[in-house]
Structure 1
Amino acid sequence: MASAAGAGRILAPPVEQLRHLAAQLRLLLPGVRVGEARETTEEFNPEVFWRRLNEAAVKVSGEATTLTTVFSRLPVPSPQETQRICEQVHVAIKAVIAVYYSLPKDEGITLRKLVRSAAVDIVDGMAQLLEVLLLPPAQSPENSDLISCNSVWVACEQVPKIPKDNKAAALLMLTKSVDFVKDAHEEIEQAVEECDPYCGLLNDSDGDNSDSHNAENSVLGFPSNQDSYWSEEDQELIIPCLALVRASKASLKKIRILVAENGKKDQVAQLDDIVDICDEISPSVDDLVLSIYPPVCHLTVRINSAKLVSVLVKALEITKASHVTPQPEDSWIPLLISSVDHCMNRIKELTQRVTQS
């Protein structure tokens, strides 16, 4: 009877079914981003969890390939065949989400964030694939390249690479933070090395032609001379700022080493606390680095420096109080905090001198 009722139902055209499925997947994303672990009386089994997650990702990848292959050629599938494919895609996506929800908080917030990010990427990647297939004409030759380049396959391939415990997840996140700060440090050091203190002086000697020369430079895409180089006061301020960035990089490296050597897998809360505060260092470094590019606002530099110092000191204190830092190994922390405070005092002195003049 149910089959007869289904057979008599008028199905939407294939394109409309794809559009509806894409919209359904988009509606799932907010819930995944804030989803909590499902409570259960069953004891968590890591081996079962990772096997289920890998299998779910493989299933999604296969459904994405089927979807792409079928809708990248003529004739377009019938409404009935489209319905079957869309249902399989939806079931596969829901399975990935369900596995993510089965990961308890007790396994670590850092680990859950990585699994959540993977689940979000898979759902979002599938929605993107559906939206690309909807672009007219859906059977264009370019669509045959989707199998090798679309993000849903990339997201599914990343699942087996996710760290399997919270300590490994913490190390991965700390490594990323180190790399981000290292890149920012190298970028600003290169900019300082390439700085030409005489940049723009020729404009001052052009006399009556200076305005026209500046206008010409503007047309050519060159900044005006007052915005393209550091003054002597700026260059003096850069020195303690660079010292803060170096201290940030050194601190993150040391914290990562301590977690690698002394971190315990069962101390998930302390590892999460370390990662959470260290995650704030890289954005704070970026804010400081961006603020010392010309034209420099000394007040902004002072504010961003204070923010970085606050985050950095808090990260060092949390690390010192945790199990990853045995007492014989914590002597470097007060010295580094003292060095950071010295840099901040120097920045205050220099910025006050400029703002008061």
Structure 2
Amino acid sequence: MLAALFLAQYVIVSAIRHKDPRYFMPALPILAVLSAWWMLGCLPRRARLPVVACVLVCGVLQLEAISWGSPLPREVVVGGVQVWKEHGYGSHEGLGERWPLDEMVAVARRHAPEAAPDRPAVIALFANADCLHYEALNAAAKRARLPVRTEFVGEIDQRRRADYSLWSAMAKDFILMKTGWLGPDYSLGPLPEALERLGGVAAPRLPMHDFVQRWHLPDGSQASLYQRRAAPAPPVRFGDVAVLERAEFVRDASGPRLLAWWRHVDEQHLDGVLVFVHLLREDGSFVAPYSFSLRQGDGTTDLGGGTAIAYPIPLPADLPSGRYRLALGLWRPAVDERRIPASTVGDSVAVGEAFEVP
């Protein structure tokens, strides 16, 4: 009877799409006490062992059903109810959840090339309630032998405030956030207001992280990965000509562009000075050159950090897929055709992070 109770409650709870067996975990100690009292006081001696075995088997099945980080290599089905499925996905079919964990971890690893075993990239999981356990992402990283680990920093629901958890997540390398799904027991709660206070919007746009990739989940929600912006590099002095405050490569409706924030040092040294930009492969090999007037790019853009000169970077039509980066420098072709060194070790400075060409 007790074994039937364990199995029946799991089947019933698994059939409810917005619940899972963990809601019954507080009842397990009570059931254990009751079963011990019943078996010792009411059962014949020879019947106690089979009953204890049945209870243990049902308990193990329950624990496996909620242990999303366990790397079980097969499907486990009990009574027609799937209690585990492991194919590189974190799965709880009762919630309609299927997260491509291995792909998410690999994408994070590609965007964190400096990650190492002693300094792994940290993904802050920010999702509504129990849709994904952070240990499942850690298990995916372990399978792929990638230096990535996950921390669960907050829930998005009506019972907790989201703003504190958002602040806690801001220092992490990545934020993995689930949005767009409103079940009967979950909502985005105070998240839109919290993001608005932090300078973002409910879309969401995070104030210290840039969007990387979005995955559409079967229940109609979205899982979005955001990467923390790198700290701006210190200004680079190009001789007596100008100082480059910062530069970054963007792709938007206007096409690929290099945005450069310049501080002119001496106007008399600007005559005849051009900006050269080299498109490089990730290994540093040369792909294509570009040249612009330092003072006259393709318009200006204000991204909240001052006015930037925008230089159009038309990528070659036959450019193979892969990762590329840009390097920027200055030169005077009419005088000596020699580039003005950006530093004591070279004639150019790398711009931003490497970017992907599909």
- TM-score, scaled relative to structure 2: 0.25
Higher-helix-fraction structure: 1
The structure with higher relative contact order (CA 8 Å, sep 6+) is 1
- TM-score, scaled relative to structure 1: 0.25
